[in-house]
Structure 1
Amino acid sequence: MTLRTQPVTPRLPEYRQVKQLYYRAFPKYEQESWRRLMFKRLFWRADFIAFYDEQQLVGFTYLVHHHGIHYLLYLAVNDQVRSQGYGSRILQTTRQRYPGETIVLDIEQLDPAAANNQQRQRRLSFYRSNGFELTDRLTPTADVTYQMLSNTSEVDHRKVDDMFAWFNGRTFGK
């Protein structure tokens, strides 16, 4: 059964639930400002989508778009329904929304010394089981190094860089 979707706006009845889930689901160092996310979704280059199974909020995604590449910045499943297949269903619905197009995302790079390495391995297994594969793109930050996954074998990294430039308020490359 397909999940029902709704854009996340302040008028969404579950708006506060989505916001609370966002703050619970992601560590502070991965969180963008909520105001910024809400502002950027006003443009055609970002979608903030809530997912429902009938009337139950099961999760959300936040995607940034640039010329056929869709960066999955956030995917969260409602804590009350985790481990029931909703993450896979959300990804399936997202892939159906952009057939034949590239969807990329970042996960924390596997690191045997990391306290959460088992969680990182489970996350990689989850995405692999949903058709995503590791790329060679690494993004080191002060807190962690991320590795990009994609649902296609080829990724135009220049488009990815331009997408991040837009999202971060910088100008595009030439």
Structure 2
Amino acid sequence: MLHVRMLFGGDDRDMDLRVEKVANSKRKQEVKNIYTASFPKEDRMPFGMMLMMSYLWNTEFLSFYDRDTLCGFVYMATIRKLTFVMFFSVAENLRSKGYGSRILDEIQSIHANNKIIVSIEPCNQDADDIEQRLRRKKFYTNNGYEETGYCIKLGGKKQEIIIKNGAFDKRELMLFLMLYSNFTLIPKIRKC
């Protein structure tokens, strides 16, 4: 279990961000509730599969707590010097309070020398939820993530690739996804 001491802007109180493996947590159902509330069914992996995959050497499924309050979770994989954040969410009632940024900082701290990749829905002006997509992208760019100019098709949906801590390499991500999926996934990565 990791502890990260944090100060929130404008708030003088200290907070301890505690990191816990979801598979070892007694609060798995609460993490699952955040997960199912945050992602549409067609975009989700089965929760049980995520728990099983988190026992692999290259997969982490972590929950984050401020004292006893569950703040959010991340599901990510790392191969060599590349970490791909597949699912990340903050509890809805705690959004816009700095927790998301602190969790991203912790991900970077855990994988200090790695490139961190996230895929997000593209900000197409004709999207029904364009405001939400723009807020999400701004959140990541405010936290040091940069556009790559590339998109990936995952689960039949086009996603924009953003990166932190290094230059994007299309072949590196393709190899990562092929290795991670045991060569069952050959991703389509193209210029957006």
- TM over 0.5, yes or no? yes
Query: Aligned partners of 2:47, 2:40: CA distance in 1, in Å?
Result: 14
CA contact (8 A) 1:29 1:143 kept: no
Q: Deviations over 1:2-49 (max 9, x none)?
A: 51100011x412111001111111112211122221121111110000
Q: Give how far 1:141 is off.
A: 5.2
Q: TM-score, normalised by structure 2?
A: 0.82
Structure 1 segments of 4+ aligned residues over 4 angstroms from their partners: none
Q: Give how far 1:162 is off.
A: 2.6
What is the aligned partner in structure 2 of residue 7 from structure 1? 21
What is the aligned partner in structure 2 of residue 159 from structure 1? 172
Q: Give how far 1:164 is off.
A: 1.8
Residues 88/148 of structure 1: CA separation in 2 closer, same or farther (3 Å cut): same
The 10-residue stretch of structure 1 (136-145 or 71-80) with the greater mean CA deviation from structure 2: 136-145
Structure 1 unpaired stretches of 5+: none
Structure 1 position 98 matched with structure 2 position 103? no
2:85 to 72, 77, 82: 72
Identity %: 27
Structure with higher strand content: 2
Query: Aligned partners of 1:153, 1:163: CA distance in 2, in Å?
Result: 15
Query: Aligned partners of 1:59, 1:23: CA distance in 2, in Å?
Result: 12
How many residues are treated as equivalent by the alignment?
A: 172
Q: State the SS of the aligned residue for 1:3.
A: strand
Structure 2 unpaired stretches of 5+: 1-5, 7-15, 187-192
Q: TM-score, normalised by structure 1?
A: 0.90
CA contact (8 A) 2:43 2:155 kept: no
Query: Aligned partners of 2:72, 2:105: CA distance in 1, in Å?
Result: 13
- Select the structure with the greater relative contact order (CA < 8 A; seq sep ≥ 6): 1
CA contact (8 A) 2:21 2:62 kept: yes
The 10-residue stretch of structure 1 (147-156 or 81-90) with the greater mean CA deviation from structure 2: 147-156
Query: Aligned partners of 2:156, 2:184: CA distance in 1, in Å?
Result: 26
